[in-house]
């Protein structure tokens, strides 16, 4: 099994030319696992065939917002509407176990050589470690106080009501970072103790951590970058603008802030950024303005305009292209990166219906958080949330090559895996 990022199926597979070897043995295929947040359904989609293989019901856990593949056979369904998390065997399409928790889960993290899953909290600024194979809760970390009665209000910050950001293991498999959005802190823990090794304040709520392997040693000490979400309302000048914080962790477990890049305040909040090569960080903001930041100087070297709610960016390395997911717009933005310091928008491709006033009021997105580009770089895959439509874009022709409708109502996030 391969968990996929920029790797996946060959272009011929989408066109119906793949699937089996000449000796009739079955080849590995790419699957997408997506959750339906408004039900208990998890969909197993065969990406190669563009067909729905199965539907799994994770009840009594509720609201599988997304799915994270963590082993060769299993995935964790992020059931964000219940104090539990569901374990799915995606090879035989069955729910193995529903694990009770002290909070609604937000996201997971693991390492290949580590027998632990790290789960961060949606309703409490907490994390928990769970055995990757025995599925037993090992240790809780953080503050066991529900955000509904917590004295610190996060409503003015971009990124929703999640109590934490994405959890992050350091390379040694002994330490991890918890992004506490409620108290606006970055905490460094060892898996052996619920007392933090170190902590620092963050300017605003923080969303996730990114890094280059060349800047971090085998123990996980080195340089990291973290997205600061900024204000929910750009007019709120009391909250610093969205940005990227560059920081270091050393062998003495000290966290030191290097510098912070800030977007323009009027561009609103941000939640994801991504490295392109070993130098440039692409940083989308809510207004649709995307910054290209040189990580050495932490200054913007270029910008381009995508759509409202620009939040995730997916690269086609072979094609030297990027696809920006615009969560509040009907289209994705395709960008030519032949020169990363001079990116060129080449298409806006409609993939979703406009959000209704009711959907906007509920804070829904038009487009999913999760996407994938196949190994040829030609096909981009994602989902339109409110339509529950899974689709493939041909980046050669800049159109939707094929789509399928899923029997759900709000399909927001998932994971791609090859087996």
pLDDT tens-digit readout, 34-80:
999 998 999 999 999 999 999 999 988 889 998 998 888 999 999 99
C-alpha span between 102 and 146 (Å, rounded)? 10
Say how many domains are in the chain: 1
> Two tokens at 176?
């991890």
**Band (6; pLDDT cuts 50, 70, 90):** very low
Q: What's the domain range around 250?
A: 2-418
**String of DSSP letters for 217-256:** -TTS-EEEEEEE--BSSTT-TTSPPPEEEEEEE-TT--EE
Query: Among residues of the chain, what percentage have pLDDT more than 90?
Result: 86
Q: How confident is the model at residue 8 (pLDDT cuts 50, 70, 90)?
A: very low
* Arithmetic mean of pLDDT, 176-199: 97
Tokens 């070993």 -> residue = 278
In percent, the amount of the chain with pLDDT more than 70 equals: 93
- Given a cut of 70, is residue 3 above it in pLDDT? no
pLDDT, tens only, 78-96: 999 999 999 999 999 999 9
Residues 165/181, Cβ–Cβ less than 8 Å: yes
**Can you tell me whether residue 113 is helix, strand or coil?**
coil
- CATH number of residue 413's parent domain: 2.130.10.10
Contact 274, 282 (CB under 8 A): yes
- Residue 28: DSSP 8-state: P
Which class for 74: exposed (0-12), middle (13-18), buried (19 or more C-beta within 10 A)?
buried
């Amino acid at each position: 099994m391969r968990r996929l990022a920029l790797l996946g199926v060959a272009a011929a597979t989408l066109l119906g030319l793949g699937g089996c070897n000449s000796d009739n043995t079955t080849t590995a295929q790419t699957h997408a696992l997506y959750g339906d947040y408004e039900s208990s359904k998890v969909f197993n989609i065969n990406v190669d065939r563009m067909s729905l293989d199965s539907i799994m019901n994770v009840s009594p856990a509720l609201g599988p917002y997304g799915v994270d593949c963590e082993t060769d056979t299993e995935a964790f369904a992020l059931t964000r509407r219940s104090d539990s998390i569901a374990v799915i065997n995606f090879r035989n399409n069955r729910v193995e176990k529903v694990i009770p928790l002290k909070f609604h889960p937000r996201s997971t993290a693991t390492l290949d050589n580590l027998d632990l899953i790290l789960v961060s909290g949606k309703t409490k600024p907490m994390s928990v470690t769970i055995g990757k194979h025995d599925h037993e809760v090992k240790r809780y970390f953080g503050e066991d106080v529900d955000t509904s009665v917590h004295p610190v209000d996060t409503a003015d910050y971009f990124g929703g009501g999640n109590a934490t950001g994405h959890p992050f293991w350091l390379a040694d498999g002994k330490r991890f970072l918890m992004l506490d959005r409620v108290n606006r802190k970055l905490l460094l823990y060892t898996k052996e103790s619920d007392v933090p090794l170190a902590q620092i304040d963050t300017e605003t709520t923080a969303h996730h951590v990114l890094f280059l392997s060349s800047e971090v040693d085998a123990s996980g000490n080195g340089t990291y970058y973290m997205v600061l979400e900024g204000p929910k309302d750009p007019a709120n000048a009391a909250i610093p603008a969205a940005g990227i914080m560059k920081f270091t962790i050393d062998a003495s477990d000290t966290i030191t802030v290097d510098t912070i890049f800030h977007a323009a305040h009027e561009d609103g909040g941000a939640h994801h950024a991504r490295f392109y090569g070993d130098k440039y960080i692409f940083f989308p903001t809510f207004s649709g303005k995307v910054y290209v930041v040189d990580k050495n100087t932490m200054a913007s070297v270029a910008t381009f305009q995508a759509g409202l709610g620009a939040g995730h960016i997916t690269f086609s390395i072979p094609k030297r292209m990027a696809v920006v997911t615009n969560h509040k717009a009907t289209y994705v933005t395709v960008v030519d990166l032949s020169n990363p310091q001079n990116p060129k928008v080449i298409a806006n491709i409609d993939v979703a219906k406009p959000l209704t006033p009711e959907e906007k009021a509920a804070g829904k997105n038009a487009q999913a958080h999760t996407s994938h580009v196949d190994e040829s770089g030609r096909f981009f895959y994602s989902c339109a949330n409110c339509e529950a439509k899974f689709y493939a874009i041909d980046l050669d022709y800049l159109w939707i090559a094929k789509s399928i409708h899923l029997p759900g109502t709000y399909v927001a996030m998932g994971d791609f895996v090859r087996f």
